Amino acid sequence: MNTTLIILFSAFMIIVSFGIGFWAKKKATTQQAFFGGTGMFGPVTVGLSSMAGIASAFAIVGVPGIIYNAGNAMTFWMLSGAAFAMSYIILGKRVRAMAEIAPVSSLGDISDIRFNNNRVIKAVMSLVIVLGCVSYLAAQISAGSKMFAHLLGWEPITAGLVIFGILTVYTALSGEVGGLLTQAFQGFIMVLASIFMIFAFVSITGGFGNVLNAVSSAQEVVGTNGVTKAMGPGFLDAWGVLPGSISFTWMLIPILGCLGQPQVLTRMYAIKDPRDFPKAGLVTAVTHTIVGFVAVAVAYGALYLVATGKVQPLESPDSAFYVFNDNAGVFTQLLSYAAVLAAAMSSASMFLTSSSTLLSRDLPSALGIQIPADKQINISRGFMLVLGLISIVVSIYSSELVAILGTFGWGTLVSGTFPVFVVGLLWERANEKGVMIGVIVSLALNILSLTNFKWPGILPAYFNITAISVALTILISLLTPKQKLDSKLEKVLKL
């Protein structure tokens, strides 16, 4: 009966999302609406959509898995709620102002305005972002598919095709307008579920004091399933069981990296009134903190259940979320499983629209291929369908954890967007040659990281790639002549 209720509630959420997407189709009549939702939405819609796109299944499933696996360090991730407001303060006015001086439908348009329609920058940036989007999209699909496989005993590929096939269809119909509206609805579901899950955590454990006592005193739990879980006091210190430099990277990249994510950048020009940025920042900060805290609570709830012998040590860290909620009561399960689905669907639809826009509009333009305006929307829809299918297959047959898939995508996006948007919009001296070298090196090194190449040291590859690409952007810009800027662009960069 519990499983039936969960499935019905999740199906209801999918139907509502499809209905919103189908209704939004009538608004997606122009390129700016379909590809960017430019200047169309208020602060609550933009804030919830941004939060849902960033939090995603990485937060709901991946973060509890990291904490269960590696200890306390990832709890600092919840502080990234403030990163949205930071992003709006640092870049918001400039990105939104770009839409006032020229038509903006995509990130490629902003690159064109800033760097004199430089085709190389636009093409390479598009490829890097698509690489990151597909990986992040696969992480969302993996989390949603595993959830229904856990519930129903379905094959993950079947669950992925059913759920994310529906999502791909409604996203293809309504583009970014429907995607943004459905993401706002799904973000609301995530926040609502998180509140009830926090109460469930207190009910199950009695509070963090009991959890810390149980985990620190357990030392090691040997399960009858052949799995052993090491715990103890060291599991709870600031760095967990990982080296301090890796733990610090896990903390820093989600907070600083928020600035370079498409789901944040694109929402900056979707807001209707630039004066609403403070309100949008408040919405994202509060809602993301709630979702971030519940990810921490779920992880420690699962650790408590294992430490006290109420459940067997987990075979996969990604199952921490599901094991906790299996012990949280049917009402919490209804909302929590819907939250995973909402998180996965919201981010998946966002990355589908972003990557298909880059492939159908920005990349052809950069390569000198002129696609008639009246055909671009249909071509983009075709790319969404193809990318959706590819990502479903990649997610199901990849052996990586949800968190690893997600962080690779996140880090790739940071390394590709920082030279163009962060350095390019914050530093007037940044020029075409510097940014071009930065994004080319970023693409080359990201591709290299997909091979068996091992980076020196223990930091994640994307951390090194971002540092190298930004450093080269600055260095080459300083060594080459300053770019002559249009008078309107100069005013934008001085905001």
Parse the chain into domains and list their residue ranges: 2-398
pLDDT at 321 over 80: yes
Place of tokens 């020009």: 269
**pLDDT confidence band for 407 (50 / 70 / 90):** low
Identify the pLDDT of residue 402: 47
Six-digit token pair at 233? 């006091």
pLDDT at 401 over 80: no
Mean pLDDT of 231-257: 79
Q: Report the candidate in 243, 247, 288 with the shortest Cα–Cα distance to residue 58.
A: 288
CA dist list (Å): 4 to 113, 149, 160, 341: 52, 14, 19, 16
DSSP structural state of residue 231: -
Identify the pLDDT of residue 245: 76
Identify the pLDDT of residue 438: 94
Stated as kind and residue range, the H or E segment containing 230 is: strand 228-230
Is-contact 416 132, C-beta < 8 A? yes
How many Å apart are CA 162 and CA 144, to the nearest integer?
11
pLDDT tens-digit profile of 17-56?
778 877 777 776 666 667 667 778 899 999 898 888 787 7
Q: Which CATH architecture has domain 2-398?
A: Up-down Bundle (1.20)
pLDDT tens-digit profile of 148-200?
776 667 776 777 777 777 777 767 766 777 778 888 888 898 899 889 999 99
How many Å apart are CA 143 and CA 154, to the nearest integer?
14
pLDDT tens-digit profile of 83-93?
888 888 889 99
pLDDT at 105 over 90: no
How many Å apart are CA 319 and CA 311, to the nearest integer?
12
Is-contact 475 427, C-beta < 8 A? no
Place of tokens 């928020």: 258
pTM of the model: 0.83
pLDDT tens-digit profile of 363-374?
888 888 887 776
How many Å apart are CA 265 and CA 404, to the nearest integer?
23
Phi and psi at residue 219, to the nearest 5°: 60, -65
Six-digit token pair at 19? 């209905």
**What share of the chain in percent tops pLDDT 90?**
21
Stated as kind and residue range, the H or E segment containing 284 is: helix 277-307
> For the ranges 216-220, 244-248, 306-310, which has the lowest average pLDDT?
244-248
**Which bin fits 160, alpha (ψ -120 to 50), beta or left (φ > 0)?**
alpha
